[in-house]
Every structure is written in structure tokens, then in C-alpha cells.
């Protein structure tokens, strides 16, 4: 259980979806302010309070905020090379947070520092409002991008080992549930060497979530998976997110970032180059206009960037640009076959930021 | 020691003891040794009673040899060599005329059996010695005592001058055996430890493990787990050895044996020695890039386990020399040298106390440093850590 205060509320309104820390924002129909109950969660679950029609548990930090991870001026150097340079950001409870950046940007070092594998040179990291401890480690799940499991042991032994390290109760029951969910139940008593690459990845995922972590850090979670498995894993991640698990995803797949993330942090050469809500960042980077044409493009004053391929061009314009006037100018100079205005993709933003 | 360390220890132990290599090594090795000993005994017996020409020809240039069964005289070397080439004799002993001055003998043979067989050479030497004694008119009774002396009985006295009995011999043998066990334990456990860590590094599993427990917990668990594996293996070997001893003529040696302070010191050195070597080998293995490289790096430490053998002659000759005293204080040789010295001479208690104190201090310091090296080394994939890297690891908080 997350360090902090667990409170039980007697809530007499209908709740249609899973209760999570995000319920006030999107998941539930808000009702009257719930009354705090002084009893503990275990007693309530045991049915000692028949008057409770629905139970909401909200774990708050000791300081009462919804920030589960706070990183302040984090700096880390290796052999005189600054790998992380005064990084500051917050991750809020229940959100899907994207950690982006090109190879060598410092993402893995940042993750390892959050996990207390590396210690920062300067700066501070607070998880659930506290410094790192063994209890906090048990509240975090981590799926690394690479690394294989011990091939000589059984799938069940592997799960049991990692679950015991995270002090999980009722391991066998949870193991079977997760194996079934990820379509691996028939491999329960098979050696890991019998698993395909995709199965191996799914098993790694089970190991990172079997202890029901409050924060799940995923490094390229979809790498090595086929589209079907990507779909399954994505559904599970969204389900976990819906239940209040905070997801921190490090990935290069920008389409997944666009679909899943609420906020992002982009690193480049160890520096924070983008941080904030996805919508705000896209607004900041203006609009993209896709033009299919015949002829020669004229000089366009209102365009801030252009990627011209001869008869196809991507134009970058400010959010408040008069696109109708731009269309008119283009139509006067070239034969237009297609003119599509859209928000700039994260892929474009990623490339632009990394090139700077 | 935390619960997580115990989880790691349990996992490593159960995983390793189920391996075919472990089962084969644990049960197969003593059986193989018994088989080899049996074969040697059988072939030895076959040699002594075997068929074929066992006679020895001789040419007595000094003129003191008397005729004896199994020995055929020849007048000169040519005749003797012709008999040897004609396979009338198996070997030819040539005693030169100046033998009594020089003592030099020559044996000619065709199959080289006399070169390797000490027993055969010894019988020829006894034949010559027996003839010399007769030549000097020494009586048969005296000659027999000279040629086949009785083994002397060794009586160890306690401080009051009373004989201590057989347990004294056991008290001498046991620390020797424990020193051997310590060396064996270090060699076997280091093998498992470096293989385990090497595999984890090769498969890049370290990062995932370190997200479940700290480097200290992981390191402690591995050392404990592989230590238990090693103890189990040695336990099986010792049990088989004791069973063989109990069935043999040495059983009486160990009856009524008492636990002396010497034995306590041996056990303490065994435990401290294992921890020192395990921590060192874990660090070395975590810096390697593959299992093979881990074995090479760890060999530096396993060499210390066989180090006393190099100095064994020196140690037996002068156990209190300055070199031996220095090696008693050096942590990597202390467990072996101190134990061997303790079995040979009366080592001043302060030397043992200082030696153990240095050992404990080294383990404490090394364990703190080892966790840092292990944590950083496990995450350095595909690249060999340099000395500069190691210094960097040690500076990590």
C-alpha cells in the first residue's frame, strides 16, 4: 500500500466505472462530497460496514497533494559527462506520463535514478512525498526495454520469485489471473526457454505488475510485440490507468504517445526540452498543413517551416495563422489537389525538437 | 540481512542444486574418485602378482652380491643386455666395480616400467642393500630391522606430561581437513557465484532485479545462496568421506574426539574466508562482460586458495618465518596459512586475534565497497569496466 493515509468514504451515488484517482476529472459522475470514515480498509472489505454501498480509497501523500513523483533539479554525471542536467518535473497520480527523447538522451538514466539504482549527484527525488525507501520500491513496477529472464526455470517459479521480492500476498491466485489475462496460463509449468519472444515480453510485463504497483514505469513497452499483443497490452495498461495506476512510459512510438499520454517530458542530451500537457505542447508548435500540388510553390510569409517534396509539401504555421488566406495565395500560384489542416503530430514535434 | 536477501538466497540455492552439473559434481566426483582409487589398487595388485617375466638380471662388478631367487647373474654387460633383449629377464641391474666408492647403480629395461614404478626400484635397492649388509657380516636379525623398520608410535603429551591419545592426531588431522574444505568451498562456490552473476550480466537481467531489491540485498542473497550450495556439496563429500573412513581402519581415530579451540578457530576461518572470497569474486564477476571473462577475472582470487600449496614446503620447514607471519595477517591468505601454522606449531594467540581482526575489518570495508561496484558493474553492459570506471563506481553514493 502506498505510504500515506488511506481513507474510506461512504458514497451513496452511482459510479459507473472503476474508481481511480482520476475520478474527479473524467471517470465518474461526481456526487456529494463524501464523508471520511475513520476505520481501516481491511475492516471495511471484510464487510464490517454494511451501510457502505460503495467504497472509494484515496491514497494521498503525506502532504496531501496528488503528485506521486517530484523531481527537482536532478543532475547526474558519469565520468565528467553530464547525463542529466537539472531536470525538474512532476508526475501526478493516475496520469499516463510520456518520457520521450532520442537515443542517448538520458531517459534510461532518469528511470534508473527514479528507481534508486543510480543516486543523483545533486537535486532531489520524492516519491509519494517521501525519500526513496524499500517500501516505496515495492510500490513501483518496472518493465525494462531489454534483458531476458532465467531460461532454465519454470514460468511459475519465475513469477513466484519476483512476486516474493515484492512481498506479494496470495501469489498463486494472482499469478493465474495474470497468466490467463495475458494468454500464458498453459505455459505456467513450462520452462522460460520454451516461450517465444512475444510471450517472454508478456511474462516480463506480468512480473512488473503482479504486485499491483501504484506507479508503473515502462521502457518501450510495445517493443518485440505483434499488433495483437500490442492491443492486448494497451487495453491492460488503460485498465490499470483507469484503476488509478500511474503510468510512466518511455517510448519512441509517437502515435502511442498521442493516444495514451496526458503529459510528457522530452529530454535531449540530458536536458529538459519539452514538458507539459500534450495539447498545450501541440498548440505551442502550431499547425501543419499538408498540400498536394502541381507547379512551383511561391514564397509564403506566414509559413514558419516547410518540407517540400516537389508535388507534396508539409507547411508549418502558427496556431492563429489565417489558413484561408494561405490557401488563396497557394491557389493563385499552383494547382492544388489536396489542402488539409491538422495539428502537428508528436512525430513532427519530436524530430523538430531533436534537430535543434 | 533482510527478507529480500533470503528470497534471493532461496531462489539461487534451489535453482543451482537442481542443475544436472551440480548433481553430477556432488555425487559423481566422489564416486569417480572411489573408482579411480579402486582401479589403482586393482592394477597395483595385478602388477605385483601379474604374469609375465618378473626376473631381474644383474652384473656384479663390485663382487658382493649373493645369489637370490628372482635375480639371475650375468658375467658382463653384453651377456646381460643380450638376455634383456631376448626377454629372458625384465631388467638388468649393473653394479660397477667402483660402486662402493661412488654408490652409482644402473638399471637397463625395455618397457620403462622401472622408471615409473617406485615399488620396483625400491625392491632392487633393497636387494642391493641386503647384499651389502651380508657382505659386511651383519646378522639377518639386524639386517631385517634395518631393511624393514617398524613404524614408530607417536605419543603426544599434554601440558602435564600425560599422553593425549588418538584424539590428538584427530585434532591435527581435522584442521588440515578443514583447510582443505575451505579451499574446496571457495573454489566451488566461486564457480557457481561467478557463473550466476556472469549469466545475469550477459542476459542484462541485473536492471530488472535491481528494480525489485537493492544491490546490497541482491549481493547478500547471492553470497548466502551460493554459500549454502557450496556447504551442501562439501557436506555430501565429507559425509561420503566419513562413511568410507568409518568402514575402514581409521574409524578409531575419530572416536571420542573433542571440539578444541583449534577446531573453533578453523570454523571461524572457514566462515570469514568464505565471505571474503565471495564478496571479492562477486565484484570481479560483476565487472566482466561475459561468463568466460568472469571466470578469468575471478581466477585472481581463486589462486589465493591454492597459494598455500606453493609455500607448503617452506611452511612445514619453518612455520614461524617472517613470510609466514606476514601471510597470516594478509586477509586473502590468512584462513589457509593461519590454520596450517596452527596445526604445526603453537602460534601466539595475539597473532590469531590480529589476523581475524584484519579479516573482519577487510570484509566490512569490502562489503560496503562491493555493493557499489556490484550495482554499477551489473549495469555496464557489453563494455569491460576499466580501473577508472571502478574508481568512479566507488565514488557513487
Least confident of A162-176, B17-31, B262-276: B262-276
Q: Closest partner residue to B211 among A79, A142, A164, by Cβ?
A: A142
Mutate to test the interface with B, among A161, A205, A209 (most CBs of B within 10 A): A161
A86 φ, ψ (degrees, to nearest 5): 40, 60
pLDDT in tens, B106-121: 888 876 655 545 456 7
pLDDT in tens, A84-141: 999 999 999 889 999 998 888 899 899 989 988 888 889 999 998 888 887 888 899 9
Average pLDDT, chain A: 80
Sorted by where each begins, the domain ranges of chain B are 56-147, 166-395
Least confident of A130-134, A341-345, B284-288, B349-353: B284-288
* DSSP letters for A287-302: EEEEEEEES-PPP-TT
Q: How far is it, in rounded angstroms, from Cα B275 to Cα B92?
A: 58
| B210 to chain A, closest Cα gap in Å | 7
- pLDDT band of residue B268 (cuts 50, 70, 90) is confident
Say yes or no for a CB contact (<8 Å) between A165 and B214: no
Q: How far is it, in rounded angstroms, from Cα B302 to Cα B190?
A: 8
Say yes or no for a CB contact (<8 Å) between B397 and A147: no
Question: What is the chain B residue with the closest CA to A76?
Answer: B396
Q: Collect all residues of chain A within an 8 Å Cβ-Cβ radius of residue B207.
A: 112, 117, 144, 147
Instruction: Please say whether the beta carbons of A253 and A264 come within 8 A.
Output: no
Say yes or no for a CB contact (<8 Å) between B204 and A146: yes
Q: Collect all residues of chain A within an 8 Å Cβ-Cβ radius of residue B389.
A: 79
Q: Report which DSSP code applies to A187.
A: G
B331 φ, ψ (degrees, to nearest 5): -55, -40
Strands A303-308 and B106-109: unpaired
pLDDT at site A35 = 40
Q: Collect all residues of chain A within an 8 Å Cβ-Cβ radius of residue B213.
A: 137, 165
Q: Collect all residues of chain B within an 8 Å Cβ-Cβ radius of residue A162.
A: 212
Q: How far is it, in rounded angstroms, from Cα B222 to Cα B278?
A: 9
Confidence check: pLDDT of B178 > 90: no
Q: Collect all residues of chain A within an 8 Å Cβ-Cβ radius of residue B205.
A: 147-150
Least confident of A56-65, A242-251, B326-335: A56-65
Asked if the B56-147 domain carries CATH number 3.40.50, the reply is no
Q: Collect all residues of chain A within an 8 Å Cβ-Cβ radius of residue B2.
A: 134
DSSP 3-state assignment of A313? strand
- Looking from the CA of B4 toward its CB, the CA atoms found within 13 Å total 21
Element (H, E) at A275: strand A271-277
Instruction: Please say whether the beta carbons of A281 and A258 come within 8 A.
Output: no
Mean pLDDT of the A4-19 span: 33
DSSP 3-state assignment of B212? coil
Q: Report which DSSP code applies to A25.
A: I
Q: Collect all residues of chain A within an 8 Å Cβ-Cβ radius of residue B199.
A: 150
Say yes or no for a CB contact (<8 Å) between B392 and A79: yes
Element (H, E) at A203: helix A197-209
Whole-angstrom CA distances from B147 to A207, A218, B63, B95, B139 are: 76, 83, 21, 20, 12
Whole-angstrom CA distances from A342 to A277, A294, A307, A316 are: 18, 21, 15, 10
Rounded (10°) angle between helices B322-329 and B349-377: 50
Please report the ipTM that was assigned to this predicted complex. 0.73
Say yes or no for a CB contact (<8 Å) between A152 and B19: yes
DSSP 3-state assignment of B87? coil
Confidence check: pLDDT of B5 > 70: yes
pLDDT at site B235 = 84
- The sign of the dihedral angle between the CA atoms of A292, A297, A299, A304 is positive
Q: Closest partner residue to B397 among A115, A119, A134, by Cβ?
A: A119
H-state helical runs in B18-139: 20-23, 29-49, 77-85, 99-102, 113-116, 118-135
- pLDDT band of residue A142 (cuts 50, 70, 90) is very high
- The C-alpha cell at A78 is 558519469
Hey, what domains does chain A have and what are their CATH numbers? 5-60 (no CATH), 67-280 (3.40.50.300), 286-355 (3.30.70)
pLDDT at site A293 = 93
pLDDT in tens, A13-52: 323 223 333 333 333 334 444 444 333 344 444 444 444 4
pLDDT in tens, A323-337: 898 899 999 999 999
Find all residues with CB under 8 Å of B342, minimum gap 6, and list them. B175, B262, B265, B266, B352
Sequence length of chain B is 397
Confidence check: pLDDT of B28 > 80: yes
Q: Phi-psi bin for B64: left (phi > 0), alpha (psi -120 to 50), beta?
A: alpha
Q: How far is it, in rounded angstroms, from Cα A272 to Cα A123?
A: 14
Element (H, E) at B371: helix B349-377
Residue B209 C-alpha from the chain's centroid: 37
Which carries the bigger pLDDT value, residue B289 or residue A150?
A150
Mean pLDDT of the B253-281 span: 74
| B391 to chain A, closest Cα gap in Å | 10
Say yes or no for a CB contact (<8 Å) between A147 and B212: no
Find all residues with CB under 8 Å of A337, minimum gap 6, and list them. A292, A293, A294
The chain B residues in contact with chain A (CB within 8 A) are: 2-4, 7-8, 11, 15, 19, 199, 203-208, 210-215, 375, 379, 388-389, 392, 396-397
Name residue B228's beta-bridge partners. Answer: none
Q: How far is it, in rounded angstroms, from Cα B185 to Cα B279?
A: 14
Work out the percent of chain A whose per-residue pLDDT is above 90: 38
Question: What is the chain A residue with the closest CA to B378?
Answer: A117
Instruction: Please say whether the beta carbons of A32 and A10 come within 8 A.
Output: no
| A242 to chain B, closest Cα gap in Å | 24
Mean pLDDT of the B386-397 span: 69
- The C-alpha cell at A128 is 509519494
Say yes or no for a CB contact (<8 Å) between B205 and A150: yes
Q: Closest partner residue to B205 among A78, A149, A164, by Cβ?
A: A149
- Looking from the CA of A354 toward its CB, the CA atoms found within 13 Å total 15
Q: How far is it, in rounded angstroms, from Cα B134 to Cα B182?
A: 52
Q: How far is it, in rounded angstroms, from Cα A196 to Cα A179?
A: 15
Q: Collect all residues of chain A within an 8 Å Cβ-Cβ radius of residue B204.
A: 144, 146-148
Say yes or no for a CB contact (<8 Å) between A150 and B207: no
Confidence check: pLDDT of A70 > 80: yes
Say yes or no for a CB contact (<8 Å) between A204 and B208: yes
Q: How many CB atoms lie within 10 A of CB A86?
A: 14
pLDDT in tens, A294-332: 998 888 888 888 888 889 998 888 878 888 988 999 999
Count of pairs with CB atoms under 8 A, one residue in A, one in B: 65
Q: Collect all residues of chain A within an 8 Å Cβ-Cβ radius of residue B22.
A: none
pLDDT at site B376 = 74
The chain A residues in contact with chain B (CB within 8 A) are: 78-79, 112, 115-119, 134, 137, 140, 142, 144, 146-150, 152-153, 161-162, 164-167, 204, 207
Name residue B56's beta-bridge partners. Answer: B71, B91
Regarding pTM above 0.90, the answer is no
Amino acid at each position: 500500500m502506498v505510504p500515506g493515509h488511506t481513507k474510506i468514504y461512504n458514497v451513496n451515488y452511482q459510479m459507473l466505472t472503476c474508481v481511480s484517482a482520476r475520478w474527479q476529472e473524467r471517470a465518474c459522475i461526481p456526487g456529494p462530497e463524501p464523508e471520511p470514515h475513520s476505520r481501516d480498509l481491511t475492516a471495511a472489505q471484510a464487510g464490517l460496514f454494511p451501510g457502505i454501498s460503495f467504497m472509494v480509497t484515496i491514497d494521498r501523500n503525506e502532504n496531501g497533494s496528488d503528485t506521486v513523483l517530484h523531481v527537482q533539479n536532478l543532475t547526474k554525471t558519469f565520468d565528467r559527462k553530464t547525463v542529466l542536467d537539472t531536470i525538474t518535473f512532476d508526475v501526478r497520480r493516475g496520469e499516463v506520463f510520456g518520457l520521450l527523447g532520442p537515443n542517448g538522451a538520458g531517459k534510461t538514466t532518469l528511470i534508473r535514478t527514479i528507481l534508486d539504482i543510480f543516486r543523483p549527484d545533486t537535486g532531489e527525488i520524492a516519491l509519494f512525498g517521501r525519500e526513496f525507501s524499500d517500501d516505496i520500491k515495492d510500490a513501483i513496477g518496472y518493465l525494462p526495454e531489454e534483458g531476458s529472464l532465467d531460461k532454465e526455470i519454470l514460468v511459475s517459479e519465475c513469477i513466484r520469485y519476483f512476486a516474493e521480492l515484492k512481498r506479494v500476498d496470495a501469489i498463486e491466485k494472482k499469478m493465474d489471473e495474470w497468466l490467463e489475462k495475458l494468454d500464458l496460463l498453459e505455459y505456467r509449468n513450462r520452462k522460460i526457454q520454451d516461450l517465444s519472444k512475444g510471450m517472454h515480453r508478456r511474462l516480463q510485463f506480468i512480473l512488473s505488475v503482479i504486485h499491483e504497483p501504484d506507479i508503473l514505469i515502462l521502457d518501450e513497452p510495445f517493443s518485440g510485440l505483434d499488433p495483437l499483443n500490442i492491443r492486448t497490452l494497451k487495453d491492460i495498461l488503460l485498465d490499470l490507468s483507469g484503476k488509478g495506476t500511474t503510468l510512466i512510459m518511455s517510448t519512441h512510438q509517437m502515435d502511442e504517445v498521442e493516444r495514451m499520454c496526458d503529459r510528457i517530458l522530452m529530454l535531449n542530451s540530458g536536458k529538459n526540452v519539452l514538458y507539459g500537457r500534450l495539447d498545450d505542447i501541440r498548440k505551442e508548435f502550431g499547425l501543419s498543413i499538408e498540400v498536394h500540388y502541381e507547379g512551383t510553390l511561391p514564397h509564403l510569409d506566414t509559413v514558419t517551416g516547410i518540407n517540400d517534396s516537389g508535388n507534396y509539401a508539409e507547411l508549418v504555421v502558427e496556431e492563429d495563422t489565417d489558413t484561408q488566406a494561405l490557401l488563396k495565395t497557394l491557389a493563385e500560384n499552383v494547382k492544388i489537389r489536396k489542402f488539409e489542416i491538422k495539428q502537428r503530430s508528436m512525430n513532427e514535434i519530436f524530430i523538430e525538437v531533436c534537430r535543434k | 540481512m533482510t527478507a529480500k536477501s533470503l528470497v534471493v538466497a532461496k531462489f539461487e540455492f534451489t535453482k543451482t542444486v537442481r542443475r544436472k552439473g551440480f548433481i553430477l559434481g556432488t555425487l559423481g566426483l566422489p564416486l569417480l574418485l572411489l573408482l579411480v582409487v579402486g582401479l589403482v589398487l586393482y592394477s597395483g595388485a595385478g602388477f605385483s602378482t601379474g604374469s609375465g617375466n618378473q626376473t631381474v638380471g644383474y652384473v656384479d662388478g663390485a663382487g658382493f652380491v649373493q645369489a637370490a631367487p628372482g635375480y639371475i647373474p650375468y658375467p658382463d654387460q653384453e651377456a646381460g643386455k643380450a638376455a634383456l633383449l631376448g626377454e629372458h629377464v625384465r631388467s638388468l641391474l649393473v653394479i660397477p666395480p667402483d660402486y662402493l666408492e661412488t654408490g652409482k647403480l644402473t638399471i637397463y629395461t625395455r618397457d620403462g616400467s622401472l622408471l615409473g614404478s617406485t615399488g620396483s626400484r625400491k625392491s632392487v635397492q633393497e636387494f642391493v642393500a641386503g647384499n651389502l649388509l651380508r657382505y659386511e657380516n651383519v646378522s639377518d636379525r639386524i639386517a631385517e630391522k634395518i631393511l624393514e623398520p617398524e613404524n614408530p608410535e607417536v605419543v603426544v603429551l599434554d601440558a602435564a606430561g600425560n599422553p593425549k591419545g588418538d584424539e590428538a592426531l584427530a585434532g591435527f588431522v581435522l584442521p588440515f581437513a578443514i583447510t582443505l574444505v575451505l579451499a574446496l568451498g571457495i573454489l566451488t562456490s566461486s564457480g557457481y557465484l561467478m557463473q550466476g552473476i556472469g549469466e545475469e550480466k550477459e542476459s542484462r537481467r541485473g536492471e530488472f532485479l535491481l528494480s525489485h531489491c537493492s544491490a546490497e540485498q541482491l549481493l547478500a542473497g547471492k553470497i548466502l545462496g551460493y554459500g549454502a550450495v557450496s556447504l551442501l556439496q562439501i557436506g555430501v563429500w565429507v559425509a561420503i568421506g566419513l562413511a568410507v573412513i568409518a568402514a575402514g581402519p581409521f574409524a578409531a581415530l575419530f572416536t571420542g574426539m573433542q571440539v578444541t579451540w583449534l577446531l573453533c578457530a578453523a570454523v571461524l576461518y572457514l566462515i570469514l574466508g568464505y565471505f571474503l572470497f565471495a564478496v571479492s569474486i562477486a565484484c570481479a564477476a560483476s565487472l566482466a562482460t561475459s561468463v568466460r571473462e568472469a571466470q578469468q577475472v575471478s581466477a585472481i582470487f581463486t589462486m589465493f586458495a591454492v597459494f598455500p600449496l606453493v609455500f607448503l614446503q617452506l611452511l612445514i620447514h619453518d612455520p614461524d618465518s617472517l613470510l609466514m607471519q606476514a601471510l597470516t595477517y594478509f586477509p586473502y591468505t590468512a584462513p589457509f596459512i593461519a590454520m596450517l601454522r596452527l596445526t604445526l606449531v603453537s602460534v601466539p594467540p595475539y597473532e590469531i586475534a590480529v589476523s581475524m581482526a584484519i579479516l573482519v575489518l577487510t570484509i566490512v570495508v569490502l562489503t560496503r565497497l562491493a555493493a557499489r561496484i556490484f550495482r554499477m558493474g551489473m549495469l555496464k553492459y557489453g563494455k569491460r569496466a576499466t580501473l577508472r570506471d571502478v574508481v568512479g563506481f566507488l565514488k557513487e553514493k
